[in-house]
Structure formats: C-alpha cells, structure tokens
Chains A and B, each alone.
Chain A
Amino acid sequence: MRVIIMRRILTLNVSALAAIAVFAAGCGCGSNSGTTAGTPTTTTTTTGGTTPTSTAAKRPVPTAAGNTATGDKIVVGMVSSLNGDLKPWGDDSAKGGQLAVEEFNKQNPNGIGGKKIDFHVADSNSKPEQGKTAAEKLMSDGALAIVGEVASGITAQIANAAYEKGVPVVAVGATRTDLTDIGSNVFRVCYTDAFQGPVMATFAYKELGKRKAALVTDLKQPYSTGLSNSFRDFFTKLGGTVVDEEFYNTGDAQFSGQLTNLKSKGPDVIFMSGYFNETGPLARQAREQGLGKDVPLLGGDGWDSREILNTGGDAIVGSFFCNHYNSQETRPEVQDFLAKWKAKYGTAPGTTMGALGYDGTMLTLQSLKAAKSADSKDLMDALDNTENYKGVSGNITLKGMGGSPHKRALVVQLTNDPNAPQKFVKAYEWDDVFGAGGGPGAAPAATTTTK
C-alpha cells in the first residue's frame, strides 16, 4: 500500500517535471522537437540527487547504502540455476560469467584501482526462495553487485532482497516486463516480454501471413501468462484474431483435451508461451492430433534448449521462436565470443544464456571500472548511465530506460541438424516492431533522441 501511494506521488512529480522539461527542451536539444509533450522527460536529470529519469523515477530508489569494496578485492556475485529444471541455462550463464571475468582480468591486469575482481557463483537450484538465500549470502560476503538470474521468478526474489540492501542486480535472462519496477537497483541485459511477444506476433502476421492464432499458456508460470498476453495484444492490434487460448500446468503430461479444443477453432498458427519441458510433448501431441505442419508453432525464449528437440522430436522441427542471440550471426561480437568460448570450454554454448551471462557480467565489470568509486551506489549510477554498450547479444542502452534496454530480438527456427539446431531467420529491432518512437512506455522516444 505504501508503495502505491509513494508511486502516485512520484508520478505526480514526474508530470510536473515533464512540464518543466518541455520548456527546457526548447533551449538544449533540438532533436527533441519532433517528440510530443509527454515524452522528453529524459531531460529531468537536472534535478540532482538521485538523478531520476523518466521511467527510473517510477521505480523506488533503495535507501540502504549497499556494499563497499574492502581490502584488495572487489566481490561480484552471480546467482545461477546450477541444478534443477533450468540447469541447461544456469550452467551456461555461469560459464559465460566466468569467461567474462577471465577476459576482464586479462585486459586489466591491475584490476580496478589495484583491486582484483573476486567472482562468486551461487546456486539457486532453479527455485525462487533458494535464489533469494543465495543472493543474501553473496551480499553478506560483500558482493557489490549480483548478476543473474536466468528466469524472472527467481530474479524477482533476488531483486527484492537486493533492494533491501541497496545492491544492484543485473538480470541475465529475466524477461518479465514489470521486473525492473521493483527498484532502481534492477537492470537487465535481455529484452522484455513486452517486446518478444510483439516480435513473434509481427513475424506470424507479416512473414508467415497468419491471421488466426491460438495461444497455449502455462498457468503456473507468470512468464508464460505475461508473454501470451503481450502476443495477443499485438497480434490483435495488427489485425489478426486470437481464436482460442488453452491452459496447462507445469509438469502436465496429457494435453489431448486442450489440443482437441484448439484444433476445432481452426487456428493457422499456435503460440506456445511456456518453457521447453512441456513444449516438446505439447508439440508432439499436437501433431498427433492432426494439427499439420501448415500450422506453425511459435514460442518465446523459454524454448531455448537442446532438450526441446529430444522431447518434441520431428514434431517441433521447423518451429520458430524468439531468442537473444544466435551463433550464425556474422556480427564481430558474436564471432569473437564464440571463438573465446570454444577455446575455453571446447564446444559452442548450448543455450543463449551463455551469451547473456557473459554480457551481464561484462557490463557489470565495465560499469565498475567506470564507476566513481568501488561501491554499490556508484556502480548503480554507472550501470544506469550505460549507453550503446556493444554486447554479444546486441547493443545495450540503459540510460533513461528504467533498467530494461530496448534490445534486438532474433527469430530462429529449430532444425534437425545436431550441429546447428537453431537457424537464424530474422532480426527485429525495437523500431521494426513498434515503429520509430513507438511501443509501450514513453522511453523509446528517449533512445531515438540520444543518438
């Protein structure tokens, strides 16, 4: 309740500040002239103190002081799902983090101001409560920042715990849209569900030419329900219809009832927003129910795993999903990263979390270097000032974004080639989907004007 009231006061302030900003826009940045009155709120950084920006101002600012580096070490923590359902992701995220630290140490043999990076990885066991415990342990060990997690539910717990302590969190693969509203200490290096849903909707509508979508949602996963909603909203906005939505629960085995219903509604595309564990059997049973290959299956980044090809078999080959990174991309960052990864671990990363774990850790370390002093608070400011950071998974700008960058998303296709299970299909930038300056929230206008 208190939070709500506080947010109301803050939003009032923001609108007042926005009005001032409109006046301010007249003198400084000419490129702002094209934007509407409500948008150029990025200029409110002049207020001093906590330097809130348009979306950041809505986010509560932690009052606790956070950690300061002591001795000759700077402790950076990572929470990762090294066991449990999300193990394929957690392993890659931790490996990516270690690779980033190794490389950073090589580039900066003296560390940061004589202090060496001390990287701790803690296991969340794919469970939110254990993730919270792991984060608390890392913070009591003096971690200046926490990198992770790969999933939104766990990250939310970590972010709340870190908010209490005033420690920044750089989420690796947590895409749930409202996650960064927890506090101004929360950042991420991945896109959000508010983007990947529309990306897949655009792909289905424009590239595949589909008009009638059916949704299959995992009721137990906030990730899945959120993603289904964002897909539905954008698909209908484009002019398509959502003919059916069916639900299941994590761990279900039999989907024939739902699939019979779904088939009778005659969709020409099916969006399955759940995780890979259930999507494989779902796809298999959908094909057995007579939903042919002319009805493509689409999904979000929750599909990203080799296991989906084992459980889904032939049924899932040829399906499309949204991902953060693809090894077939020719961008130099990707090819550099792949070479380094192969040199250290032998094989290419199995999931996208390798690249995101690397990006999250590297961004944190680079921000530490840029920070005024080695403490959580200055690190948070440095992270919040990130502009055009060239990550493996795409460019990251956090300045004025309220913690969630507008990153590119890739549509990839599953193949039965064991060496390249994910074929690169198409890359979407934020503007490709929402149009220049469009999209949810007022923030996109800010990014276009900072260039």
Chain B
Amino acid sequence: MTLALHLVAGVDFNTLPQQLVNGLLLGAIYALIALGYTMVYGVLRLINFAHGEVYMLGAYVALFVSYFMGFRPDATHPPQATILNLVIMLLASMVVCSIVGVCIERFAYRPMRSHSRIASLITAIGVSLLLQYGGALFLPNSPPPSISESVNPFHGQSKEFTLKGPSQDLVMLVEKAKPAKDQAQAAYQGWLTSHPNADIYNLPADGQALKEAQQSSTDIFNDAEHKVEAGGVHLIIQTGQAVMLVSTVVLMGILTYMVLFTRAGRAMRAVSHDFDSAALMGINVNNIVTFTFVLGSSLAGAGAMMTATFLGTPLTTFYGLAPGVKAFVAAVLGGIGNIPGAVLGGLLMGMAENMVVWAGYSNYRDAVAFLVLIIVLLFKPGGLMGSSKVEKV
C-alpha cells in the first residue's frame, strides 16, 4: 500500500537545487571516507574493512574531547562554543584515528602481508568485528551518547537563497488572508487573557469555538504562505554543513598536495605502481604504508568528527558500519585505487541517494548504494576512473 502511495508521488522540480546541494554535502563525507579505502587498496591491494571502525572511533574521540571541554549533555551552563573547540576536536580525532590506523596496520596486516591476499582480507574483517563488538565493552553505547549541540557555534544558523521568487498574485493571496487571521487570533488571545486559568487543551465551549476559528483562519493563511513558498525556488544551506563542505574540500586539497608534490607522496605512488620494485629502488615500503594509513585514517577521523558534531547522531560502536559500506561502494564506483575516482564516486553516491529520495522513494534510499555496486561490477569492473585490468582477489 505504501508502495502504491509512492509510485504516484510526483517529483517537484522546485526542490531539485536543494536536493542537489543535499547530495553534494552527503557525498563529500562519503568521498572523505572512500579516500581511505582507495589509498590503502592502491598501496597494499587490501580492502581495509576496519576503515569504518576507525571512522567510528573518530566520532567517539570527538565526543570525549567535547566532554572534556565541558560540553556534557547534562551541563547546565556549558561554556561558550567557539570555532577553536571544533578545531581541537577535529585535530584530536584525526590524530587518534591515525594512531589507530597505524596500529591496525602494524599488528594485524603487516604480519599477514607475505601470506595470500585472502588471508589479509579475512584479517581485515576480523579487526572490524573486534572493534565493533570489543569496543562495546568499554565505549559508552547504551543509551547511545551524542555530541551536544552546544559545542556547535553554528547551531541553528542557516542562510536562505531565493533563486526564483513566487508570482505576484500568490503573494496577494497571503495579504488577503492576513487580516482574518489576525482578527481571529486577537479574539482568541483576548478570551485567554480574560480567562487566565484556562487550560488551552481542555477549554469550555466558548473558548473552544474561538480557538477553532483562530485555527481555521490560520490554516487558510498558512496554506497561502506555503503556496508562495512552494512557488519559488529556494536554497537553504546550514552554516554548519557549509563549514563541513569547506573543511572537506580543504582536507582533500591538502591530500592532493601531499600525494602529488611531496617526496613521501611520490614514494607512495611508486609503491602503488609496483610494490616490489619500489622496495628494490630503496624506498622504505613499511614507512610508506604507515604514511598511507596515517592519511586515510585521519581523513576518516575528520569526517566522523564533522558528522557526529553537525548532524547530532547518537553514537554506537556500529556507527561506522553504514557509512563504511557506502564509502566502500563509492571507492569501487570511482575505481578502487584511484584517488580522484574515490572523490567522484563519493559525490555520485551522495547525489544518487538524494535523487532517489527526491523522486519520492526514500524507502529505497539504501538499496541504491548496492544497486550501483552491482551495476558497476557488471559493466565496468574497474570502476569509472580505474583501470579495467581484471584482478583475482
């Protein structure tokens, strides 16, 4: 029945710009996580399934740092939120995540490196499960804690852009409905002031009549107002989300610089090109692998800190599961091992999900991620920007 309801649901082109922006914001985070998958795969040919758990730990680090700075949910007078707090949380998450990532590589993946690749893959799944279920033993998860919105200096702030105004006669409609609404409201308020002890949800008949008159006139007014609103094309961007997008772009810029213009980056590309030859050329492969994990994990930590802070999601040890899977799909979509591909894949995934929602099928939002994965694997196994060389994993 619900399916039938949604099959007839039309699409509203006036909300398309907003949905594209939503998709962009969502996709930027997927891209940030996908970079970690793709870089590790590029260097080690290993799908680091524990990456989502590194992301989860990053969110917890941000939580603890926010607690430490005094932004506890039960705090009656939390300190004034500043950008500095956010920067501290971001850096802490990035640092702790890189340490975790390096430790995972050092103790779980390096001993397995000389074994078959499937062994490393199973180890990665093992580490992921260890962090999910083991983490539940010492991380607070029931009830799920969340980062207090008081830490966010941009909370509740947003900017509205009007891309196209509504037509003039619609605006007139609102003007026409306004006096009736004001009059009814005044009558009801007047009655309420003359009956100071009245319970507004259990009114006597005369008060109830005034209340209903006020409600129905407000209804007409709101209806007109909504028509004006829906007649135009608006774009609302929350300041927090804009900050998130800008930080993501900055981090990706730093990553690009490091990979393309530093010695370590060059070495990393060499290792990813040919692991054994790079070692023969005098590159310390272990250091480069560590470097790769530092980069990937710190990006995941940054992404986790931003989503946990700006979206206010409750944290459990499974916090990284869904974003991890989607980011993995994004990495595959872009061509796993390819850095620009991961960004493209992430953005496309975010867009695809929001387009499904826009079309009125929000019940299939998660399905689209896996549909995309199947289609890509069927028709372009190498991904959009990856090499189409078939590999045996």
Interface residues of A (CB under 8 A from B): 83-88, 126, 207-209, 211, 219, 225, 244-249, 251-254, 256-258, 260-261, 263-264, 266, 268, 277, 280-281, 284-285, 287-290, 294, 305, 307, 310-314, 411, 418, 425-426
Contact = CB atoms under 8 A, between A and B. Distances in A.
Nearest to A228: B2
Interface in B237-273: 238, 240-241
A310 B19 contact: no
B316 A85 contact: yes
Contacts of B322: 251-252
B110 to A, nearest CB: 32
Given A266-B230, A294-B222, 7 more contacts: A209-B215, A244-B9, A256-B25, A257-B353, A261-B12, A281-B146, A313-B148
Interface residues of B, number: 66
A254 B143 contact: no
A215 B152 CA distance: 29
B85 interface: no
5 contacts: A251-B322, A256-B26, A266-B230, A277-B314, A313-B149
A247 B142 contact: no
Given A257-B19, A261-B360, A211 B230 contact: no
Given A85-B143, A245-B2, A247-B365, A310 B22 contact: no
A9 B69 CA distance: 67
A397 to B, nearest CB: 25
Contact of A87 (B143, B238, B307): B143
A264 B311 contact: no
Given A247-B363, A288-B156, A290-B158, A264 B23 contact: no
Contacts of A85: 142-144, 316
Nearest to A203: B201
B216 to A, nearest CB: 7
B15 A261 contact: yes
A248 B313 CA distance: 14
B178 interface: no
Given A281-B311, A281-B314, A284-B312, A209 B144 contact: no
B19 A260 contact: yes
Contacts of A418: 74, 76
B66 to A, nearest CB: 12
Contact of B226 (A266, A305, A411): A266
Contact of A249 (B144, B307, B366): B366
Given A252-B322, A254-B311, A280-B312, A261 B362 contact: yes
B201 A311 contact: no
Contacts of B240: 288
- Majority secondary structure, B binding face: helix
B175 interface: no
**In terms of DSSP, what is the predominant structure of the interface of chain A?**
mixed
Contact of B312 (A84, A248, A263, A281): A281
Contact of B362 (A248, A288, A294): A248
A258 B211 contact: no
Contacts of B18: 260
Interface string B318-342: 1001110000000000000000000
Interface string B199-221: 00110000000011011101100
A225 B313 CA distance: 22
Contacts of A245: 2, 5-6
B45 interface: no
A294 B14 CA distance: 23
Most buried by A among B148, B227, B312: B312
Contacts of A425: 201
B146 A280 contact: yes
Given A268-B222, A294-B222, A207 B229 contact: no
Contact of A307 (B15, B143, B158): B143
A244 B363 CA distance: 13
Q: Which 5 A-B pairs have the closest CB atoms?
A: A209-B215, A266-B226, A257-B357, A87-B142, A310-B73
A314 B156 CA distance: 9
Contacts, number: 145
Given A247-B363, A290-B160, A310-B73, A261 B211 contact: no
Nearest to A311: B146
Contact of B216 (A209, A254, A277, A426): A209
A88 B23 contact: no
Contacts of B9: 244
B311 A126 contact: no
A287 B155 CA distance: 10
Interface string B364-375: 011000000000
B49 interface: no
B15 A253 contact: no
Contacts of A207: 201
Contact of A264 (B215, B230, B316, B362): B230
B314 A307 contact: yes
Contacts of A261: 12, 15, 19, 357-358, 360, 362
B297 to A, nearest CB: 20
A266 B354 contact: no
B163 to A, nearest CB: 14
Contacts of B25: 256
B22 A256 contact: yes
A253 B362 contact: no
Nearest to B364: A247
Nearest to B149: A313
B236 interface: yes
Contact of A257 (B212, B236, B311, B358): B358
A209 B219 contact: yes
A305 B145 CA distance: 13
Nearest to B76: A418
Contacts of A268: 219, 222
B236 A290 contact: yes
Contacts of B22: 254, 256-257, 260
A90 to B, nearest CB: 9
A264 B15 CA distance: 7
Nearest to A289: B236
Contacts of A86: 142
A132 B303 CA distance: 38
A208 B22 CA distance: 31
